[in-house]
Amino acid sequence: MTSILTNVAAMSALQTLRSINSNLEDTQNRVSSGYRVAEAKDNAAYWSIATTMRSDNKALSAVSDALGLGAAKVDTAYSAMDSAIDIVSEIKAKIVAATEKGVDKTKIQDEISQLQQQLLSVAQSASFSGENWVAGNTTKSVVSSFIRDANGQVSVQTTEYVLDDTSMGNVLFGGDGSGGIDTASGILGTATGTVGSIYGMNISTFSTDAINSALTTVESGIKAMTKAASQLGSISTRIDLQESFVSNLSDSIDSGVGRLVDADMEEESSKLTALQTQQQLAIQSLSIANSSAQNVLTLFKG
C-alpha cells in the first residue's frame, strides 16, 4: 500500500541517517580530540579513574620540583663541607710545619687565621633558598614522595636531616637561636681538650705537646666533617634515586591513563571512512524514499 500521508520508507531511511550522523559525530570528536573518553558521559568509570590519576600526576610533578630544590640544598651543604675539609687539611699542614724547630709560629698562625676566617665564610655562604645545612642545630627536611594508599588517602613523605652542633656532630658551626652562627659550637667551634677549637686555635705560643694536641683536635674535626659529608652524600644519592623513580612513575601513570581514555587513531580513521560512506548511502536512500511519493502522480495521469 502506498500512502501520501505516511512514508514508512522515508522514515526508516531518516532514522538510519540520524544514527549514522550521531556515530559520525562521535568518531569525528575522537579524531579531533584524540580521546576515546573525553567526558564523564563517554565512560563514567574510566573518566573518573583518569581524572584522579591526572590529579596525582600533577602532585608528582610538584614532588619532582621539591626534590630538585632539596637536591640543591643538599648539594650546597656538601660543597661547603667538602671545602671545609680542604681548608682544615691546610690548617693541619700548617700545624705540622710548626713542629719544626726555629720556625716562626707567629707567621704560621697568621696563615692559619686567614684559613679560619675562610671556614667561617664558607659556613655563612652555604645557604640555599634561605636554608643553611652546615650551620645551626635544628631539623631540616626535603619532600621525597607523594603516596595514595589502598583506601584512597593521600600523604606526602619527607626525608629529615638533624643538624647536630656537638664536637662530633654534622655541622661546621652551631646556631645562635636567632638565625645567626654560633662560632663556639659545632665541629669547628666546640672547644676540645686544652688547645681550644679549630676555629679559635692559636698556635703562636704552643709547646710541642700542645701542637700535638692541636693535631689531634684537627684530625678529630676532619673525621667528623668526613662523616657529615658522607651523610649528605647518602641523602643526595637517595634524592637522585627518588627523582628518577618519580619521573618513571609519572610516565607510567600517563601511559596507564592513555590506555583508558586515548582513542585508537587507526581504528577511528577506518570508522570515519566507513561512516562517511554509510552517510552518503543513507542520504541516497532517503532521497529515493522521498521520491517514491512522486510516483503516485502517475496513477492519476490520463
* pLDDT in the model for residue 3: 64
Dihedrals φ, ψ of 139, to 5°? -110, 125
* pLDDT in the model for residue 59: 86
* pLDDT in the model for residue 91: 96
* pLDDT in the model for residue 167: 83
Dihedrals φ, ψ of 91, to 5°? -60, -40
pTM of the full predicted structure?
Answer: 0.76
Identify whether the C-beta of residue 184 lies closer than 8 Å to the C-beta of residue 190: yes
For the chain, the structural domain boundaries read 8-34+263-300, 56-236
* pLDDT in the model for residue 175: 87
* pLDDT in the model for residue 302: 55
The segments of the chain whose pLDDT lies below 70 read: 1-6, 191-194, 293-294, 296-297, 299-302
Residue located via cell numbers 704560621: 108
Percentages helix, strand, coil for the chain (3-state, rounded to 5) are 65, 10, 25
Identify whether the C-beta of residue 16 lies closer than 8 Å to the C-beta of residue 285: yes
The Cα–Cα gap between 239 and 248 comes to 14
Determine the topology of domain 56-236 in CATH: f41 fragment of flagellin, N-terminal domain (1.20.1330)
Q: Where are the beta strands (DSSP E) in the chain?
A: 127-128, 131-132, 139-148, 154-162, 174-175, 181-182
Identify whether the C-beta of residue 158 lies closer than 8 Å to the C-beta of residue 142: yes
**Chain-centre distance for alpha carbon 253:** 15
The Cα–Cα gap between 140 and 73 comes to 10
Most distant CA pair in the chain: distance in Å?
145
* Grid cell in block for residue 9: 520508507
* pLDDT in the model for residue 1: 57
Q: Write the burial class of residue 244 (CB in 10 Å: 0-12 exposed, 13-18 middle, 19+ buried).
A: exposed
* pLDDT in the model for residue 186: 93
* pLDDT in the model for residue 7: 72
